[in-house]
Amino acid sequence: MKKTIISPSVLACDFARAGAEVEKVYDAGAEYLHLDVMDGVFVPNISFGPDFIRSIRPCTGAVFDTHLMITEPMRFIDAFAPYSDIITVHYEACADFAATLNTIRAHGRKAGAVIKPATPVSVLEPFLPLVDMILIMSVEPGFGGQSFIPSSLGKISEARELADRNGFDAIDIEVDGGINVKNVGEVIRAGANVIVAGSAVFRAADPAEAVKMLKQS
């Protein structure tokens, strides 16, 4: 079984204190930092862009896990690559998904493939050779603080099996949306090894303690 990694989503933090907040969760053992980029077109919300990510990059040693919820992300790979270790793009947002994944890899970054709750896992099969991580959305993308959609558990298992069956056991399975100390155990048992948590970390009274609790669970 792969090691479990916690990826706190900056979307839920206090932006005025972002540098200190991300440092705190990294020191508490969260190895990744999840960066939710929204364009108000692919999703009905706007978050932040590459300048924000660049400004917090020196505050933490975390792996920068950038989740692009933008239409035709190909247009912005150049802008995000310098400040990201992993760039994850939506299957639903790309005219040429393979070309987009290849562009991320051509920048020397890891490529993630993400699907919305209504998109079947099977669409990803042709792209497995181009992917380092599969992200299963367990809420509709756009907002933090939503409830975990229970049918996501089946999709997590399916994604793990799809990768293993095709000989891509190195692929990581990430899950994003509505994860907390109560449900993180079943998400991991279903086959996920990278856990995004926004509200459960940054809206907790003590974010560092919240990271530790998630890791223990």
**Nearest to Zn ion of 67, 160 (CB atom):** 67
Separation CA 127–CA 98 (nearest Å): 7
Separation CA 69–CA 80 (nearest Å): 13
176 catalytic? Reply is: yes
Classify 125 as helix, strand or coil.
helix
Note the residues at the interface with ligand DX5 (CB under 6 A). 9, 11-12, 34, 36, 67, 139, 141-146, 176-179, 196-200
Residue that has been written with the tokens 């040693």 in this structure: 61
Of Zn ion, ligand DX5, none, which one sits near residue 191, judging by CB under 5 to 8 A according to partner kind?
Answer: none
The yes or no reply on residue 174 touching Zn ion (CB under 5 A) is no
The yes or no reply on residue 36 touching Zn ion (CB under 5 A) is yes
Of Zn ion, ligand DX5, none, which one sits near residue 178, judging by CB under 5 to 8 A according to partner kind?
Answer: ligand DX5
Kindly state the tokens that stand for 194: 């990278």
The yes or no reply on residue 109 touching Zn ion (CB under 5 A) is no
Which residue's Cβ has the minimum distance to Zn ion? 67
Shortest Å, Cβ 146 to ligand DX5:
5
The conformational region for residue 81 under phi > 0 = left, psi -120 to 50 = alpha, else beta, is alpha
54-93: contacts with Zn ion (CB under 5 A): 67
Order of strands, edge to edge, in the sheet holding 5-8? 5-8, 194-197, 172-176, 133-137, 110-115, 86-90, 63-69, 32-38
Of ligand DX5, Zn ion, none, which one sits near residue 179, judging by CB under 5 to 8 A according to partner kind?
Answer: ligand DX5
Of Zn ion, ligand DX5, none, which one sits near residue 12, judging by CB under 5 to 8 A according to partner kind?
Answer: ligand DX5
Give the active site residue among 39, 132, 172, 176: 176
Shortest Å, Cβ 211 to ligand DX5:
13
| Strands in 70-109 per DSSP E | 86-90
Angle (CA) 199-192-84 rounded to 5° is: 65
Give the active site residue among 36, 39, 65, 132: 36
The secondary element (H helix, E strand) that includes residue 184 is helix 184-190
51 catalytic? Reply is: no
What amino acid positions are annotated as catalytic residues? 36, 176
Residue ranges in contact with Zn ion by CB under 5 A: 36, 67, 176
